[in-house]
């Protein structure tokens, strides 16, 4: 009597399986061009990053750090990026960066409108909240399998999985940002006869920009955290190095790649946080 | 049906907040209380069956404590709250029936609102805040900057164009709010407790400034406040609201003199009457008057009859010429002097719109009653010194 009755069996996974296979059979005409298009963007970004001479990249890092924060930060960024290069991981860093950049870009393109819709309509919010929860808590390996089936091995399923994992913060914080615009301010905009679009673009979005930028920062950090896992479907980059190190039990190789990821994370975080701070509106 | 002077007319306006406002209308009509409706159905009755008329160019004040429905009412006037039932006519058009496009146009051109907590856009400069309404209307940049700059000048904020709202004090922020509303050149200005968040000294300045601006621009103003003194100081007419219903509408004097309910008389107890009541409200026509053509003997008899020691002397057009005391009259009778030679003029004269506040010092500087004259020096009435003080009690 203590064990759960065996005759009660429910398999939800099988329906997802059927669904994915059905998608695969019937929507190849859709997934193939999407795959091609994403791959093309990815490769363009990556080859552009690799086309840049190494010293230009270091110079740009220095300038970015200096402008966004201060001189010391610029110097630190330059030294840290130089270090990744000297680990012999320059090309891997650029591959990783390309995946992160493209993922974040697509996350924003999809996430911002969804966040805005959620803030405008409580029903949309009610529908999306559990979906976002699922996206954040579902172990990423689980959706890597269908992603792989739909987009084959390589960078594209990696981007797909990265988006699923990293898109929730930008959606949530866009929603939160717009909802926390003071009511009187929105009323003021409406009282002057603003259209929905005018209210959104002239008041609500600028007011919630600090919140949205925090969301962008979070999304970027999560995308970076995803690269190791994304390497399991064959995306080259720093994650792949880690994966190889695990397979060969190679401590040195693992830490070289590990530190590189940490360095990228620190730089991206400080930069995007610095930009986010610029949009802070003191004393609402 | 609409007189030329009616700008805004509200008929049987009701606003209920909740999931299905129409569903509780029957209950309200059957006289079930707000509390019972809230408990039973979860609907809040904001205002119920409000009817009123606002004349062109007047300051109409809606006064009530928090929860009385006054903010709900003013938000119906630009449809920030969509009424559950009733009609709102502005220039004869029922704005409740407006579609989206008409409503936007109405908001852009006819009304503007000033908010309690200013409602300024903190991400925009002062100039860009004032420009907002014009920007929404699609007015070219140069023109709207010119208009905005001009309106900042009207409210005394020139030189602050490129600052942000956070850099300004409360009073200055509300001036921006006012300038922003005026920039659209609306017919109707809706002011939702605009000065409540300001400290008392600044509030007084802003009130005076509003009156000053109003005397120049002659807008129709609907003004919300919970402060009786503010209501009576600014309002040409005042509506008192309680529990979503209008209890009384009238001029400040009417409400002061004939409060419609105990609630209102309680409310107006705190009013500083010396700032509301004017000479015309407390003057009365003298029981005795002497004409210039009469002699000192008539004057003496007249004073004797009424038991007074001085009397005003007027001509046939009731123009005031002076005052005769009983002592001078007796001497004049003895010495056979005409009335003209014994007239004295060291009494105070005021016009009928003088506030009692200003009469108080006069009661100590002169022994005689105060004479109330029109602009032709015609005697309208007198105010004995004791009446000034008794009017304040």
User: What three-state secondary structure class fits B93?
Assistant: strand
Asked if B122 and A192 come within 8 Å (Cβ–Cβ), the reply is no
Q: Do B119 and A187 touch (CB under 8 A)?
A: yes
Give me the count of residues in chain B. 393
- B131 and B232 co-located in one domain: yes
CA distance A42 to A157: 12
- Across the strands, what pairs with B349? B371
Pairing of strands B237-242, B220-225: unpaired
pLDDT reported for residue B1? 42
What does the domain layout of chain A look like in residue ranges?
Answer: 27-51+87-278
Same domain, B65 and B173: yes
Closest CA to B152 of B199, B106, B213: B213
Provide the pLDDT for residue A78.
Answer: 94
B213/B252 same-domain check: yes
Residue in A240, A216, A279 with CA at minimum distance from that of residue A93: A240
Q: Classify residue B384: in a domain, yes or no.
A: yes
Task: Give the chain A residue nearest B138 (alpha carbons).
Answer: A194
List the single best residue of B95, B122, B144 to mutate versus A (max A Cβ within 10 A): B122
For residue B108, what are its two tokens? 């852009």
Do residues B80 and A190 lie in contact, with contact meaning Cβ atoms separated by under 8 Å? yes
Interface contact flag, B136 A282, Cβ < 8 Å? no
Q: Which residue does chain B place closest to A184, by CA atoms?
A: B119
pTM of the model as a whole: 0.77
Please tell me which of the candidates B107, B116, B121 has its beta carbon nearest to residue A191: B107
Flag whether the ipTM exceeds 0.90.
no
- Verify whether the Cβ–Cβ distance A206 to B123 is below 8 Å: yes
Identify the domain boundary among B209, B240, B272.
B272
In a domain, B107, yes or no: yes
Beta bridge partners of B242: B245
Residue B285's pLDDT is what?
85
Same domain flag for B290 and B268:
no
Q: Nearest-CA neighbor of A242 among A252, B6, B321?
A: A252
Give the per-residue pLDDT at B266: 82
Instruction: Lay out the sheet containing B370-373: strands in order across.
Output: B349-350, B370-373, B379-383
> Are residues B252 and B292 part of one domain?
no
Residue range B10-43, pLDDT digits in tens: 999 999 998 888 888 888 888 888 888 888 888 8
Report the CATH number at residue B382.
Answer: 3.10.580.10
Q: Please tell me the class of the A27-51+87-278 domain.
A: mainly alpha
Q: B13 in a domain, yes or no?
A: no
CA distance A103 to chain B (A): 30
Distances (CA, A) of B272 to A175, B65, B108, B252, B278: 50, 18, 39, 12, 12
| Residue B252 maps to a domain | yes
DSSP B381: E
B339 domain residue, yes or no: yes
Rounded (to 5) percent helix, strand, coil in chain B: 40, 25, 35
Residue environment code for B116-154, b if the CB has 16+ CB neighbours within 10 A, otherwise e: bbbbbbbbbbbbbbbbbbbbbbebeeeebbebbbebbeb
| A chain contacts of residue B75, beta-carbon cutoff 8 Å | 187
Do B231 and B292 share a domain, yes or no?
Answer: no
Which pLDDT does position B11 carry in this prediction?
92
Residue in this structure with the two tokens 């959706």, named with its chain if needed: A143
Considering only CA atoms, give the Rg of chain A: 22
* CB contact set of B263 (below 8 Å; sequence gap of 6+): B240, B242, B247
How far is B194 from B222, CA to CA, in rounded Å? 11
B243 and B313: one domain? no
How far is residue B193 CA from its own chain's centroid?
A: 14
Picking from A110, A140, A146, A145, the residue whose alpha carbon sits closest to that of residue A128 is A110
Contact B119 A188 (CB under 8 A): yes
Spatial separation of the C-alpha atoms in residues A134 and A171, rounded to whole Å: 14
* B136·A182 Cβ contact <8 A: no
The total number of structural domains that make up chain B:
2
Taking an 8 Å cut-off on Cβ atoms, the answer to whether B136 and A206 are in contact is: no
Distance from CA of B26 to the nearest CA of A (A): 29
Set of chain A residues whose Cβ sits within 8 Å of the Cβ of B123: 206-207, 209, 281
Give the count of Cβ contacts less than 8 A between chain A and B. 75
Contacts of A194 in chain B (CB under 8 A): 104, 136
Mutate to test the interface with A, among B98, B117, B123, B194 (most CBs of A within 10 A): B123
Mark yes or no for CB contact B137/A193 under 8 Å.
Answer: yes
The reply to whether residue A193 touches residue B120, judged by beta carbons under 8 angstroms, is no
Domain identity same for B131 and B255: yes
| B118 and B254 together in one domain | yes
Of A174, A191, A208, A279, nearest in space to B118 by CA = A191
Query: Chain A contacts of B118, Cβ < 8 Å?
Result: 184
Instruction: Give the domain-ending residue among B244, B272, B300.
Output: B272
Q: Supply the CATH number for residue B190's domain.
A: 3.40.50.300
Q: Which residues contact B28 (CB under 8 A, 6 or more apart)?
A: B14, B16, B37, B45, B48
pLDDT tens for chain A, 284 residues long, are 788 888 888 888 888 889 888 888 888 888 888 888 988 999 999 999 999 999 999 999 999 999 888 899 999 999 999 999 999 899 999 999 999 999 999 999 999 999 999 999 999 999 999 999 998 888 888 888 888 888 878 888 888 889 999 999 999 999 999 999 999 999 999 999 999 999 999 999 999 998 999 899 999 999 988 877 888 887 888 888 888 998 999 999 999 999 999 999 999 888 888 887 777 766 54
- In sequence order, which residues have a C-beta less than 8 Å from that of residue B274 and are 6 or more positions away? B355, B356, B357, B360, B392
Domain extent, residue B119, equals: 57-77+98-272
Domain edge (last residue) among B272, B305, B338: B272
Considering the domain architecture, whether residues B145 and B268 belong to the same structural domain is answered as yes
Q: Are B179 and B155 in contact (CB under 8 A)?
A: yes
The tens place of each residue's pLDDT in chain B, 393 residues long, gives 444 588 899 999 999 998 888 888 888 888 888 888 888 888 889 999 999 999 999 999 999 888 889 999 999 999 999 999 999 999 989 999 999 999 999 999 999 999 999 999 999 999 999 999 999 999 999 999 999 999 999 888 888 999 999 999 888 999 999 999 999 999 999 999 999 988 888 888 899 889 999 988 889 999 999 988 888 889 999 999 998 899 999 998 888 888 888 888 887 777 777 777 888 888 888 888 888 888 888 888 888 888 888 899 988 888 898 999 888 888 888 888 888 888 888 888 898 888 888 888 888 877 888 999 988 888 888 988 888 877 776
Whether residue B335 is found in the same domain as residue B194? no
Same domain as B309, residue B217:
no
What residues in A contact B78, CB-CB < 8 Å? 191
Residue B25, both tokens: 């209308």
For residue B2, being part of any structural domain is answered with: no
Query: What residue in B sits closest to A186 (Cα-Cα)?
Result: B119
Give the pLDDT confidence score for residue B386 in this predicted structure: 82
Which pLDDT score is estimated for B4? 58
Helices (H), ranges, B155-295: 170-183, 200-217, 228-234, 252-257, 262-268, 279-282
B122:A194 CB<8 A: no
**Which residues make beta-bridge pairs with A244?**
none
């Amino acid at each position: 009597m203590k064990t759960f009755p065996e005759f009660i069996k429910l398999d939800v996974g099988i329906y997802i399986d059927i669904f994915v296979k059905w998608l695969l059979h019937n929507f190849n005409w859709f997934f193939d061009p999407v795959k091609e298009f994403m791959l093309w963007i990815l490769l363009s970004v990556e080859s552009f990053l690799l086309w840049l001479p190494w010293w230009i990249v270091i110079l740009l890092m220095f300038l970015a750090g200096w402008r966004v924060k201060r001189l010391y930060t610029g110097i630190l960024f330059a030294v840290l990026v130089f270090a990744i290069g000297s680990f012999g991981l320059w090309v891997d860093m650029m591959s990783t960066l390309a995946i992160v950049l493209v993922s974040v870009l697509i996350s924003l393109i999809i996430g911002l409108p969804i966040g805005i819709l959620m803030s405008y309509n409580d029903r949309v919010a009610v529908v999306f909240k559990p979906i976002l929860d699922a996206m954040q808590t579902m172990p990423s390996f689980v959706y890597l399998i269908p992603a792989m089936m739909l987009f084959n091995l390589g960078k594209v399923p990696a981007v797909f999985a990265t988006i699923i994992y990293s898109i929730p913060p930008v959606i949530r914080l866009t929603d939160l940002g717009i909802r926390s615009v003071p009511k009187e301010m929105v009323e003021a905009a409406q009282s002057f006869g603003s259209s929905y679009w005018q209210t959104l673009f002239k008041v609500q979005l600028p007011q919630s920009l600090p919140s949205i930028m925090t969301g962008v920062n979070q999304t970027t950090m999560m995308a970076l955290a995803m690269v190791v896992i994304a390497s399991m479907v064959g995306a080259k980059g720093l994650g792949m190095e880690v994966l190889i190190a695990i397979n060969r039990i190679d401590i040195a190789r693992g830490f070289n790649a590990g530190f590189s990821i940490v360095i990228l994370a620190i730089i991206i975080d400080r930069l995007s946080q610095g930009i986010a701070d610029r949009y802070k509106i003191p004393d609402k | 049906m609409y007189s030329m002077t009616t700008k805004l007319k509200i008929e049987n306006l009701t606003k209920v907040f909740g999931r299905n406002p129409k569903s509780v209308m029957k209950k309200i009509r059957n006289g079930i209380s707000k509390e019972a409706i809230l408990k039973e159905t979860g609907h809040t009755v904001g205002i119920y069956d409000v009817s009123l008329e606002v004349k062109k160019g007047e300051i109409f004040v809606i006064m009530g404590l928090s929860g009385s429905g006054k903010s709900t009412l003013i938000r119906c006037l630009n449809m920030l709250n969509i009424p559950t039932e009733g009609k709102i006519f502005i220039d004869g058009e029922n704005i409740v029936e407006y579609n989206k496009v008409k409503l936007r146009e109405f908001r852009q051109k006819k009304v503007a609102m000033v908010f309690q907590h200013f409602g300024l856009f903190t991400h925009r400069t002062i100039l860009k805040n004032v420009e907002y309404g014009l920007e929404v209307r699609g007015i070219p940049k140069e023109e709207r900057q010119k208009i905005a700059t001009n309106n900042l000048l009207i409210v005394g904020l020139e030189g602050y164009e490129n600052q942000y709202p956070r850099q300004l004090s409360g009073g200055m922020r509300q001036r921006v709010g006012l300038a922003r509303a005026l920039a659209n050149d609306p017919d109707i200005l809706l002011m939702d407790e605009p000065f409540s968040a300001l400290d008392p000294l600044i509030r007084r300045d802003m009130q005076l400034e509003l009156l000053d601006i109003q005397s120049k621009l002659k807008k129709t103003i609907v003004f919300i406040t919970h402060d009786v003194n503010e209501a009576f100081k600014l309002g040409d007419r005042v509506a008192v609201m309680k529990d979503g219903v209008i209890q009384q509408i009238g001029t400040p004097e009417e409400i002061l003199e004939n409060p419609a309910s105990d609630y209102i008389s309680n409310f107006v107890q705190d009013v500083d009457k010396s700032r509301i009541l004017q000479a015309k409200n407390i003057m009365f026509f003298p029981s005795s008057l002497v004409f210039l053509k009469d002699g000192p003997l008539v004057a003496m008899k007249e004073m004797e009859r009424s038991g007074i020691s001085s009397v005003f002397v007027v001509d046939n057009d009731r123009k005031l010429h002076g005052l005769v005391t009983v002592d001078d009259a007796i001497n004049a009778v003895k010495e056979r002097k005409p009335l003209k030679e014994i007239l004295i003029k060291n009494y105070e004269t005021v016009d009928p719109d003088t506030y009692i506040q200003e009469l108080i010092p006069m009661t100590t500087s002169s022994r005689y009653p105060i004479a109330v004259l029109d602009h032709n020096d015609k005697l309208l009435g007198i105010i004995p010194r004791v009446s000034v003080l008794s009017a304040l009690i």
